[in-house]
Each structure stands twice: as structure tokens, then as C-alpha cells.
Amino acid sequence: MIGFNIRSAWAIYTRELMRALRTAFQSILAPVLTTSLYFIVFGAAIGARMPDLGGVSYGAFIVPGLLLLTLLSESTSNASFGIYMPRFTGTIYELLSAPVGVAETLVGFVGAAATKSLILAAIILATATLFVDYTIAHPVFAIFYIMLVAASFSLFGFILGIWADSFEKLGIIPQLFLLPLTFLGGTFYSVDMLPSPWDTIALFNPIVYLVSGLRWTFYGSADVSIAVSLGLTLGFLAVCTGIIAFIFKTGWRLRN
Amino acid sequence: MPENSPDTILRLTGLTKTYPGGLTAMDNVDLEIRKGEIFALLGPNGAGKTTLIGAVCGLVTPTSGTIKVFGEDIRNNWRGARARIGLVPQELSTDMFEKVIRSVSYSRGLFGLSPDKARIEEVLRSLSLWDKRDEQIRALSGGMKRRVLIAKAMAHEPDLLFLDEPTAGVDVELRKDMWRLIGQMRERGTTIILTTHYIEEAEEMADRVGIIRQGKILMVDDKDAMIQRLGTTEAVIELAKPMSALPPAIAHFPITLEKDGKELCYRGGDGSGKGRAEVAELTKALVRADIDYIGIDIRESSLEDIFVGLVENHADETTGEAA
Ligand SMILES: Nc1ncnc2c1ncn2[C@@H]1O[C@H](COP(=O)(O)OP(=O)(O)OP(=O)(O)O)[C@@H](O)[C@H]1O
Ligand SMILES: [Mg+2]
């Protein structure tokens, strides 16, 4: 069946945001605190002894990377919890018995997760101004790119939340893969700074392309071409959407 | 029943569900529900009641068979069908931190309807939840939580409502309340399918009863007809003096001697009063035969006896097969 029920999508979207509001304080305070710590340690303490990178001070250089670190982990965890919790508590029955398809569900759940990430991104960028001076070379592109990353990783988190059948599994992917890959993906350094062969090996890390892409929107230069970064991110978004469509079609982990 | 009777709101044909583990929870079920009726699905734990409901409501993917609701195959118009079906699940699962009124308006929105405040108020009032509308659901008692689930299921004004054990864990008072409420919904034209372990409940409310066991529908009938057809009268006549054998004068009655000949037990009739008349005949025959008795205990069987009898008979058959 085709069709999209905007009211259903809106109901899910607003409820998910409301749910976040109940814990707004924690969900904003924690990332702001972590980011501030990173700026103090890497930006001020260590950054003061670091040379500029491509004409950008080290403190400013790490802004896009830190932003991405938060975007990836928050988008993934927001969306994964968003769908895992109803499965865990059984309230998913309502969604499954409603005249709601994959499109409404995604707009609702993933849209809300992505919205939360975007709000957080804005707060982090604002926090960053307290510690370092930075400029954004392509602001419109930056906003678009941030939205794209937030949406892709919310989709990814949604898949994770459907796949996971325990809280352990829910946490394992972000901690075991996402966090290390992000740290190794050039959050705090440029990939050219790595000695051979690590600079080549690093290119197998998909996060490198994300960090690089976002850094390009800030400073106009990056490790890899922006077209490659953009293409890969869009590809990731498409793959995640495809997987979710397939999950809904088959009812995998949703219907008995 | 004709194939596409306009009175049929739901028709299951050959519906089967085998869970991934290999357990067949629903085995070739044929069932037809009529518009406007209250249908009670009776069955012991694990009979497949929840599975059947799940299959219609989109929670369970049937292995085979078809589901026709509102005259259409559900696969051809699942959106249209689901928009008109409501479900109150067996488990008390709601977002415990949500406020009652928000939870109910969410349900309405999810089903694609505008947040009609008047309608939501009406639903909450009819369930005596209006005063609790701003409470978090977790702060409510179990019976009240179940009402919230009912309110959520009614928020989109379904034509077909499934109540999976609506009165499980609900006290007598609240259960009576629930019955009244279900009666009101039926008056408004909602077709109701409920599952229950309480036969009393089916007897009290249902127009028709279906008995399910091990995924198979054993019997579907009008409640009254079922009682009449399968109902029996049981009478125990306590004799003044024990007898060693049945005297020929009363041997044609369906009676047995029990308790070392101290009691005469009658089992017969059909739930239509025939049994009582026959017991009266029996007592006259006893008097004529000069057999003295000191007490009579007479009782009509209920749906419960029928149910227990059916389920036990089938259990015997099953063990018989296995042996
Ligand atoms: N998701 C599942 N996976 C495997 N088996 C299941 C699943 N859900 C139910 N079953 C099995 O299917 C059978 C029927 O279960 P169902 O919940 O439909 O019974 P029920 O009649 O609703 O029982 P109750 O009265 O206890 O609620 C049971 O044996 C149950 O263990
Ligand atoms: Mg059940």
C-alpha cells in the first residue's frame, strides 16, 4: 500500500521529542560537559603546544571532529533507544497495530532522533565559541552536512535498536566500533600526520570521510575530496534506508 | 453461513501460525465473526488466543491462511483495515511515564486522526479516567492501567475491538464495571472479540462463544445454544437405605448408583429444562417403587462444565494418540 499519514508521523515525532524533554537536562548537560572537557584538554592544554594545521589553530581544527563525535554517538543512541524501548516494554504493539508504515515510522522516530542531534550540535558549537575562535567557511553546506550525518546515523541507530535483543547489544556497537573508529578517524588529527602505512590503512575507516567532509565545510580544505565524503555519506543513508524498508517488509524482530 | 454475508465483519480461513521454534500455535483456524456481536474466545493457557488476535492486528505474521476484515483481504488494504481495528493487549504495556491524557491523544494521532479534545474527554469520562488524566500512568493501579489501555484502543473509534483478557487481575467490582462498559461499546455498534479464562465472563456477556485448545477451534456456537446442546442436569438423590442394584422400575433413567449404593446420581437432559422434568419423573417413580430418599441436590451445568468437559475430552484424545 502506498500512502503517507502525516498525522501519524507527527504524533510519533512529537511524542519522541516530548520524551526527550523529560530528560532534557541530562541529555544536554552530559554532551556539553564532555565536549568542554575535550576542549580544555585537547584545545587549551595540548593545543597550545601544537602547530597550526593547514593554517587553522589546533583548537579550531578539532571543532568539526568533536562535533561529529557527539553527532554520531547521540544520533545512534537516541534512535536505537527510541525503537528498542517500545520493543522491550511491549508498547510497540500499538505502532504495529496502527495504520502506520515504514515511512511514517522513520519520519517519526528517526526525525525526532535527528532533531535532537541537531539541537545538540547547535549547543556544542555555541559551547565551542567559549574555548576557541573558529569560523565556518561554508555555513549552508555545514548545516546540510550535519543534518545528513544526523539523519544517517539515526537510521543506523534505528537498525541497531531493532537488531538488539538486550541492553548489552544496544551498547556494544557504539562502544566497540563507533567510538574507536571515530577516535581513529581523525577527530583530533589530520590523517596525513600518520606515519606510513597507517595513513593508507586509515582510509579504510569510513569515519575518516565523515570527519574530513565536515572539516571541509568549516575550513575549506580536507584530507579527502568533499565529493567522496558526500557520496559515501549519501550511500550510507541509502543503505540504511534500504535495510529498514526490508525489515518492515519482512517484520524481522518486529512481528512474530 | 453464506460466503460473503454482509453480516460478517471478520472471516479467518485456514489460518495457521507456526512459530520459528516449530510450535504450531494456530492450526487451520476457520472463524467467522458477525457485525455487532460480542464474541468470547475461551481457552486454557497457551491455546493460541493471543496468537489469533495478533494475526488480525498485525503483530503476528500468519504462516498460511487468509484474513478477511470488513469484506476485504487484509493484505490488500492493511491501512484501511487497521484504522478500524482496536486492540487492548493482554500485557499491561504502556509508557509508564506518560500522562494519561497524552497517552490517549497519542493513540488517536497514531491512527491518523485529529486530536479531537471532546472525543478524548468523552472516552476518558466513560472509563472514569477523566479525574486521573494528568497522572502519570505508573501512578495508577493495575485495573486503572487496563482502563488506560482500553481508552487508547477506543481513541480512534474502532469498529472492531479486540480485548485480550480485559479482566485479568481485576477485582470483582471492577470486572462488573468492565462488563457494563463492554456492553455500552456494543450498544454503540462496536463488534467485540474478547478472550477470557473466566467462563462466567463469557456466560455473562457473550453472544457467541468459541472454544480453542492447542491452536484448534473445538466449537463455535451461540452461547445459549451451546448450553442447550451440551448442557446437562445433574441430580444427586440421597437414599434412606443403601441399594445394591438398580431396581428395574427406574432402570430406564440415565442414573447410576454411587457411594456404595447410598446415592442415586442422575445425569441427563439438554439444558432446556428437559432434565428437571425427568428428575421430577424419577422422584415419582421412586415413590411408586417405594424407595425412600432423604435429600435431592439438583444442578444445571454451566458453560464452565461444558468447557472443562470439552477440553478434558480432547486432552484424553491427545494423550491417547501419543500413547
Ligand atoms: N513469539 C513466540 N514464539 C514462540 N512461541 C510462542 C510465541 N508466542 C506464543 N508462543 C506459543 O504459542 C502458544 C500459544 O500462545 P498464545 O499466547 O497465543 O496463547 P493464549 O491462548 O493467549 O494463552 P494465555 O491464555 O496464557 O494468554 C503457546 O504455546 C506459546 O508458548
Ligand atoms: Mg493470551
- Give the whole-number percent of chain B exceeding pLDDT 90: 51
Nearest to B143 by CA among B172, B118, B174: B174
Distance CA B305, CA B267 (A): 13
Asked if A90 and B91 come within 8 Å (Cβ–Cβ), the reply is yes
Nearest ligand for residue B21 CA:
1
The pLDDT score that the predictor gives to residue A197 is 86
State whether the beta carbon of A256 lies less than 6 angstroms from ligand 1: yes
pLDDT of residue A25: 82
The pLDDT assigned to B1 comes to: 45
Residue in B with minimal Cα distance to A104? B110
* Interhelix angle B142-154/B117-126, nearest 10 degrees: 140
Whether A128 has a pLDDT exceeding 80, the answer reads: yes
Residue B142 has pLDDT above 90, yes or no: no
Task: Kindly give the distance from the C-alpha atom of residue B192 to the centroid of ligand 1, in angstroms, as a whole number.
Answer: 21
Question: Mapping DSSP to helix (H, G, I), strand (E, B) and coil, where does residue B297 land?
Answer: strand
Optimal mutation site among A12, A96, A97, interface B, most CBs of chain B within 10 A: A97
Alpha helices in B169-302 (DSSP H): 172-187, 199-205, 223-230, 274-288
Task: Give, in order, the Cα–Cα distances in Å from B240 to each of A224, B180, B264, B287, B289.
Answer: 106, 47, 11, 12, 14
Residue of B nearest to A90 (CA): B93
Any B CB within 8 A of A8 CB? yes
Tell which phi-psi region holds residue B260, choosing left (phi > 0), alpha (psi between -120 and 50) or beta: left
The H-or-E segment that residue A184 falls in is helix A179-184
The C-alpha atoms of residue A158 and residue B240 are separated, in whole angstroms, by 78
Candidate from A8, A14, A251 with C-beta closest to B112: A8
Which distant-in-sequence residues (6+ apart) come within 8 Å of B259 by Cβ? none
| C-beta atoms surrounding B292 within 10 Å | 9
| A10 at B interface, C-beta within 8 A | yes
Residues with CB under 5 A from ligand 2 (ion): B 49-50, 90
Write the single-letter amino acid at B303.
L
User: Is residue B92 a contact partner of residue B42, using CB atoms and an 8 Å limit?
Assistant: no
Q: How many residues does chain B have?
A: 323
pLDDT value at residue B320: 42
Return the CATH class of domain B8-228: alpha beta
Burial class (CB in 10 A: 0-12, 13-18, 19+), A240: buried
- Top mutation candidate among B45, B51, B88, B198 for ligand 1, by most atoms within 8 Å of CB: B51
Task: Flag the least confident range among A142-146, B20-24, B55-59, B284-288.
Answer: B284-288
pLDDT beyond 90 at B322: no
Q: What are the distances in angstroms from CA A168 to CA A91, A165, A172, A173, B287?
A: 20, 8, 6, 9, 79
The answer to whether A21 contacts chain B (CB < 8 Å) is: no
pTM for the full predicted model: 0.87
How large a percentage of chain B has pLDDT more than 70? 92
pLDDT class of B321 with cuts at 50, 70, 90: very low
In which residue ranges of chain B is CATH 3.40.50.300 found? 8-228
CATH of domain B232-300: 3.30.70
Q: Is the CB of B271 under 6 A from ligand 1?
A: no
B85: which strand partners?
A: B160
What is the pLDDT, as a whole number, of residue B313? 67
pLDDT in the model for residue B181: 85
Interface pTM, i.e. ipTM: 0.89
Using DSSP, state whether B29 is helix, strand or coil.
strand
pLDDT digits (tens, 9 = 90+) for B202-221: 888 899 999 898 999 988 98
pLDDT in tens, A19-52: 888 888 877 888 888 888 988 888 778 877 888 8
- The per-residue pLDDT for range B169-186, each reduced to its tens digit, is 777 887 888 888 889 889
CA distance A16 to A110: 10
List, edge to edge, every strand of the sheet that includes B208-213: B85-88, B160-164, B191-196, B38-42, B208-213, B216-222
Q: Do B59 and A97 touch (CB under 8 A)?
A: yes
Q: Is B93 in the pocket of ligand 1 (CB under 6 A)?
A: no
Closest chain A C-alpha to B60 CA, distance in angstroms: 5
The DSSP line for B191-208 is EEEEEES-HHHHHHH-SE
Task: Count how many residues are written for chain A.
Answer: 256
- The answer to whether B89 contacts A255, with C-beta atoms less than 8 Å apart, is no
**What tens digit of pLDDT does each residue of B265-280 get?**
988 877 667 788 888 8
Distance from CA of B113 to the nearest CA of A (A): 7
B323 pLDDT band, cuts 50/70/90, is very low
| Chain A environment of B106 (Cβ under 8 Å) | 11, 15
* Range from B17-26, B124-133, B197-206, B208-217 carrying the lowest mean pLDDT: B197-206
pLDDT mean over B236-248: 90
pLDDT at B299: 80
pLDDT in tens, A191-241: 888 888 888 888 899 999 999 999 999 999 888 899 999 999 999 999 999
Is residue A122 within 8 A of residue A197, CB to CB? The reply is: no
Asked if A122 is an interface residue toward chain B (Cβ–Cβ < 8 A), one would say no
Q: Which of A87, A104, A252, A256 to mutate to test the interface with B (most CBs of B within 10 A)?
A: A256
